[in-house]
Structure 1
């Protein structure tokens, strides 16, 4: 059996320790003999959450795909990201390869939990159900990200763990979606609706319902999008925060609106996410810079613009004092303010729990499903719930143009824009080639990224990493057109 090295998660309350530790063992543990009692089950699930901290996964690697959108520029110093943004990448691109490993590691750990936890007897029913629900959710999440990025992918399940069958051919995206659906429905049954503060950050029924709503929207199943989305937006446990900014303030970034976020704690839990977003002069690494087109999308008087974007002339609290933001701090003249924070003694504040799925996203999924199913005006209530929060004039008889605007400004930088545009292009609502055939501009109007050519259907998905194709000895077949 495969030996396990658990990565202990560094988050408040239900986890503690440093990012990756080789633990002194009191014996020799294998996948099969590790799962003995409640403590083992909880620690095993902790190892799944910990993957979210990985730099090549949601700490950085998953977010580079949104550089393909029209909202942001890659910046930084990783040459492979230039090809990704320009749609000139191939199967050897490092950015295409890096997150693959961690998605399958999440699957491996989830499968092990689902295989062995049911046989544990020294465990309370509530904890057992919760652990199994968490494992079902994260298996679904890993497959969700795999399907979005690559399309058809190999599916590894419990039987494969038992039999050691890891070199498998691709399953179709419909088969992968069916497994995501089954896992999320199982998770929704097993998980609690909410937790007390000591368990903040665990996934709930709302996370499962929310991801189901997104899955069904991508399948054009509008009735089920509305059904599961309403389960989230009508439940007080997942209520919108009274202010937009509360979601991006470290002290309040664990809140009811956060259906799924990454638990970090300054001095213990560590993710590079905030480092990649902050200006280099102020302690960051200076990637993911907004472009002028995103700034132009905000309406006059929309307070989300100031929350989201650092602009020339803005006075920013950098912990030890304030500093005035200048265009020279960025290649584009802007940074994402919503993903930056500092501590009073100096340095970035790693206690910010950054979002992977918020209730506001689900409001807009429901609004889109209603508009596409019934017509303009059907999603007004959901759109206006977000607009009223920030004091904007309500929309009336809103169609897809208004919906697309609201998603762009509400969720900017949250790794949704490129996938949104491809979903709408597949539905014939927009022409993505026209959007991507416009250059990205800086605050001064200079071209920072030349016009790009998006090729249908090739660029709807990225290629499978060539190294995985090579290792499979012909079992894995590359995506078409690569």
Structure 2
């Protein structure tokens, strides 16, 4: 088997120059010019080509305007964190004052459709390769189906309605297409994930840790079904994760945020990086400026105060005044003036012993703990309080035996557990909107409160969330212009 991290290191330059041939020319949803001397006529010849093509799909996750930074900006809308950088467009996102031309609204579109184009080509040409191990062929096709679903999933949660481009569209040169309904988009994601689950291996050899598995596909299906309000289906596929030892919760919560243990059984999907190769700026955007980072995300007082007094996750998640932080060259003392809120996320930072940020730390995109809590939520919403106790308690017990188990837990306890367990992992805003759509909460009461710093001072005034407008972001105006009117703007924009 081929080590994914080694493949990224060996192929990143190669992929950068030749993989763009996979993209169809004149596609309005992706403005990238084909480069290099490769074509579909002289590529996709053998197993090596298939593996390189799939590596090119994973490689997109390194992009700053995809998972590296821009996807996590959307959680600044939530009540958990505040922007810390100097981007005026980040403030527009946080204040719900964005428009179709706002930078963060438009730049991620390109990389999602680049993923889709690369996966489409893999799904067209890998089935035709004969010089390939059948298990590798199956895995490659499963990875292609999964990442097409993942790209459409991110398009769904950001924009709601977008065009679907599949293999037939590539073969027929049909790229300028209107957007489809959210349910049609969900059905496409579901189809790809079910095929991915059939094709992907359940377990991975140690050399292949970091690749997606059946559990990854089941996990994303669970998230899809929760968004779709198909709670029974969410329980069905989520339970495939929670009852499978291959996707067990890591022994320690901190294992998920450690260079040495990031690729554990719980990490269903993460951006794979090795310091010196495959740079992802996720750590850079989180670490304090004084210690090599850019300080773009600050947790606010409301989130920090949500943690129970004896919850060790609080110290793992945050840096606060007086904390001693090993930054390699010294053990530094955190002071409140390093952040406008007096806190930083600690869970997303790591330093090399010689000093400097350690880019071998993985960027978590989906963990089993998320799925445990979604199963608990679906059970509570279908069977009543207490139905999700086992899943909630599994997460709490892993955090610390000192945390008292829940009994008869309802939605308030579930909401608390998701907030503390997944803080900073780009889930809070989506959670609040899901609960608001289901009329479990009034989201405006969360967002019509100011955000507070560590000392209780106001650092962000109350904001106005308008439903249903703010459930989704607007379609980028540049894509509507390129489509010559085929794409129609989302309602209310």
Q: TM range, normalised to the smaller chain? A: over 0.9
Residue 6 (structure 1) aligns with: none
Q: Could you tell me which of 434, 456, 469 is aligned with 1:445?
A: 456
Matched, 1:411 2:422: yes
Does structure 1 residue 348 correspond to structure 2 residue 360? no
The structure 2 residue matched to 1:396, chosen from 387, 396, 407, is: 407
Q: Tell me, yes or no, if the aligned pair for 2:248 and 2:265 is still in contact at 8 Å.
A: yes
Q: Aligned to 1:320, what secondary structure does the other structure show?
A: coil
Match of 1:291 in 2: 300
The answer as to 2:27 corresponding to 1:16 is no
Asked if the contact 2:297–2:344 (Cα under 8 Å) also holds between the matched residues in 1, the reply is: yes
> What residue is the counterpart of 2:437 in the other structure?
426
Residue 197 to residue 252, structure 1, CA distance change in 2 (3 Å): same
| Per-residue Cα deviation, 1:332-353 (whole angstroms, up to 9, x for no partner) | 1110000000001110000001
Residue 33 of structure 1, CA deviation: 3.5
CA contact (8 A) 1:11 1:265 kept: no
Q: Paired residue for 2:33? A: none
What value does the CA root-mean-square deviation take over the aligned residues? Answer: 1.5
Gaps of 5+ in 1: 1-8
| Structure 2 equivalent of residue 151 of structure 1 | 160
1:79-135 deviation digits (Å, cap 9, x = unpaired): 101011000111110000111100000000000000111111111110110000000
> Is the CA contact 2:85–2:294 (under 8 Å) kept in the aligned structure 1?
yes
Distance across 1 between alignment mates of 2:216 and 2:178: 30
Three-state SS of the structure 1 residue aligned to 2:425 is coil
Compared with structure 1, are the counterparts of its residues 10 and 477 closer, same or farther at alpha carbon in structure 2 (3 Å cutoff)?
A: farther
Which digits, 9 at most, give the CA deviation of each residue in 1:386-437, with x for residues without a partner? 1111221000000000000000000000000000000000000000011100
Distance 1:408 1:135 in 2: 32
Which of 106, 113, 116 is residue 107 of structure 1 equivalent to? 116
Say if 1:11 and 1:269, in contact at 8 Å, map to a contact too: no
Pick from 440, 448, 459: which aligns with 2:470? 459
* Structure 1 counterpart of 2:83: 74
- The Cα shift of 1:220 comes to 1.4
Q: Alpha-carbon deviation of 1:12?
A: 2.3
Contact 1:83 1:89 in 2 (8 A): yes
SS of equivalent residue, structure 1 residue 201? coil
Q: Tell whether 2:481 aligns with 1:478.
A: no
Q: Indicate yes or no: 2:278 matched with 1:269.
A: yes
> Deviating runs (4+, > 6 A) in structure 1?
none
SS at structure 2 position matched to 1:355: strand
**Within 2, Cα distance between the matches of 1:332 and 1:63?**
18
The answer for the alignment partner of 1:4 in structure 2 is none
Tell me the SS of whatever aligns to 2:83: strand
Q: How many residues align?
A: 473
